[in-house]
């Protein structure tokens, strides 16, 4: 019997033992920014969680995915994007795969925006210029590649493609073109394509409209509900934003979809039913530039503010009425995740803030400075560790589990 390399055996064992605490795609396994992980927050000795490792992956804003004991992300060195894989505990490099790609800064640092998606033994990525890659998760070897801009004519958005790949059965669905493009997972062949207009910047979000499965795809001027197998548009709801920057993912709770965008736009609750939509309320309390909100217990929690703002606030709204319930003190805008009825707010200047996800007031549980620079990328909680990444590409892993319960 031929012996397999220890690294492959280890990966296979970790994959088989993968838990619900893995974070295999942007916004997590449940597509909502909320981890199912429990009892993850321990005491922070000395007022800060222990840093386990730090690596530089190059410029960019792609978040991180964690699966099978490994961490995946993408960065750019000025001329090349590199997809990189690290050991989740030690930070040791496992593999990397590079391809030609300009940094493409435009009023910001540039670099890749879309987060790798891990699906079994494959990793799928999308570059700003439309390169779709399917890589072997064990080795980083290229399985196939396509370019949705060059091969299918999908117009490049002003800030490049940014939505992460979504896996739907045997399809890879991308926010590219008017209302999406789907490729066959096995070989990258086209399954369906919409029009060629510039896309929005969000990631496709699966939801149910009654008994019908759909994907919410944030376009440049509206949100589309798309049938995932065929690309048929089931309904659309207008949503216009300055510069067509719809980048924070739609959030679905029952038959209500919360939409929010920055540049002074605001947010709205939209009720949908069998192809019909109705805006329930609209206000400017949460103007989400890039940080996707979360919905917990009938309340929306989101970061109100533009990247670079120094007086952005984390806010809680009643989803039913839109009423502001509470707002945090001002801070530099950042991004958000949640777990175990706690909000994980990574501010724009690298403070990791844990807040109770409750409507009875803004209540901090813990706060610590975990890094320096600009932090726009969403934090990731997985297996008792929080992973953060700044614009210049410093990936930092901190241990939030050890030290016993917070008392």
Read off the CATH number of the domain in which 350 is found. Answer: 2.40.128.630
Among candidates 332, 306, 328, which has minimal Cα distance to 317? 328
Asked whether residue 310 is domain-assigned, the answer is yes
Q: What per-residue confidence (pLDDT) applies to 16?
A: 35
Asked whether residue 46 is domain-assigned, the answer is yes
The β-bridge partners of 95 are 85
Q: What per-residue confidence (pLDDT) applies to 15?
A: 40
Question: Tokens standing for 100?
Answer: 């030609």
Asked whether residue 393 is domain-assigned, the answer is yes
Question: Tokens standing for 375?
Answer: 């932090």
Asked whether residue 328 is domain-assigned, the answer is yes
Asked whether residue 392 is domain-assigned, the answer is yes
Contact 183, 127 (CB under 8 A): no
Say how far apart CA 121 and CA 272 lie, in whole Å. Answer: 36
Asked whether residue 355 is domain-assigned, the answer is yes
Contact 391, 349 (CB under 8 A): no
Q: What are phi and psi of 152, to 5 degrees?
A: -120, 0
Q: How far is CA 306 from CA 112, 193, 266, 283, 323, in A?
A: 19, 32, 11, 16, 21
- Give every CB contact of residue 130 below 8 A, 6+ residues apart in sequence: 147, 148, 149, 150, 154, 156, 161, 176
Q: Calculate the CA 387 to chain-centre distance.
A: 13
Instruction: Bin 187: left if φ > 0, else alpha if -120 < ψ < 50, else beta.
Output: alpha
Q: What per-residue confidence (pLDDT) applies to 315?
A: 98
The residue ranges of the chain whose pLDDT is under 50 are: 1-19, 407
Q: What per-residue confidence (pLDDT) applies to 38?
A: 94
Contact 67, 19 (CB under 8 A): no
Q: Residue written as tokens 């009938």?
A: 298
Name the residue range of residue 311's domain: 32-60+295-407
Asked whether residue 86 is domain-assigned, the answer is no
Asked whether residue 351 is domain-assigned, the answer is yes
Q: Calculate the CA 241 to chain-centre distance.
A: 20
Contact 235, 255 (CB under 8 A): no
Q: What are phi and psi of 2, to 5 degrees?
A: -70, 130
| Rounded (10°) CA dihedral 368, 50, 137, 67 | -70
pTM (whole model) above 0.85:
yes
Q: What per-residue confidence (pLDDT) applies to 303?
A: 97
Contact 257, 214 (CB under 8 A): no
Question: Total structural domains in the chain?
Answer: 1
Q: What per-residue confidence (pLDDT) applies to 69?
A: 97
């Amino acid at each position: 019997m031929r012996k397999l390399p220890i690294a492959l055996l280890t990966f296979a064992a970790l994959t088989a033992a993968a838990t619900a605490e893995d974070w295999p795609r942007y916004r997590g396994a449940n597509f909502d920014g909320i981890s199912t992980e429990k009892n993850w927050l321990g005491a922070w000795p000395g007022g800060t969680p222990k840093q386990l490792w730090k690596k530089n992956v190059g410029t960019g804003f792609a978040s991180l995915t964690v699966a099978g004991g490994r961490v995946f992300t993408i960065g750019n060195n000025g001329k090349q994007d590199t997809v990189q894989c690290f050991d989740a505990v030690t930070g040791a490099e496992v593999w990397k795969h590079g391809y030609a790609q300009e940094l493409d800064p435009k009023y910001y640092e540039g670099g890749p925006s879309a987060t790798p998606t891990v699906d079994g033994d494959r990793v799928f990525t999308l570059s700003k210029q439309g390169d779709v890659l399917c890589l072997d998760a064990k080795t980083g070897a290229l399985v196939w590649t396509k370019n949705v801009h060059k091969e299918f004519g999908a117009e490049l958005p002003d800030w490049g493609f940014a939505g992460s790949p979504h896996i739907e059965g045997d399809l890879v669905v991308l926010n590219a073109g008017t209302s999406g493009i789907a490729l066959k997972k096995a070989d990258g062949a086209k399954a369906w394509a919409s029009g060629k207009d510039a896309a929005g910047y969000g990631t496709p979000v699966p939801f149910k409209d009654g008994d019908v499965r759909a994907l919410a795809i944030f376009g440049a001027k509206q949100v589309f509900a798309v049938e995932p197998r065929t690309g048929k548009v089931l309904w659309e709801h207008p949503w216009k934003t300055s510069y067509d920057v719809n980048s924070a993912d739609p959030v679905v709770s029952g038959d209500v979809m919360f939409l929010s965008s920055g540049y002074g736009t605001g947010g709205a609750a939209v009720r949908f039913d069998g192809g019909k939509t109705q805006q329930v309320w609209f206000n400017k309390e949460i103007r989400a530039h890039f940080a996707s909100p979360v919905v917990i217990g009938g309340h929306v929690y989101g970061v109100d503010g533009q990247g670079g703002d120094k007086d952005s606030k984390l806010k809680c709204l009643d989803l039913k009425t839109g009423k502001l319930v509470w707002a945090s003190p001002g801070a530099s805008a950042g991004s958000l995740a949640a777990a175990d009825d706690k909000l994980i707010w990574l501010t724009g200047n690298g403070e990791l803030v844990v807040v109770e996800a409750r409507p009875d007031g803004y209540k901090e549980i813990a706060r610590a400075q975990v890094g320096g620079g600009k932090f726009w990328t969403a934090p990731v909680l997985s297996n008792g560790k929080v992973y953060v990444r700044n614009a210049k590409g410093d990936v930092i892993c901190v241990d939030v589990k050890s030290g016993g319960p917070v008392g």
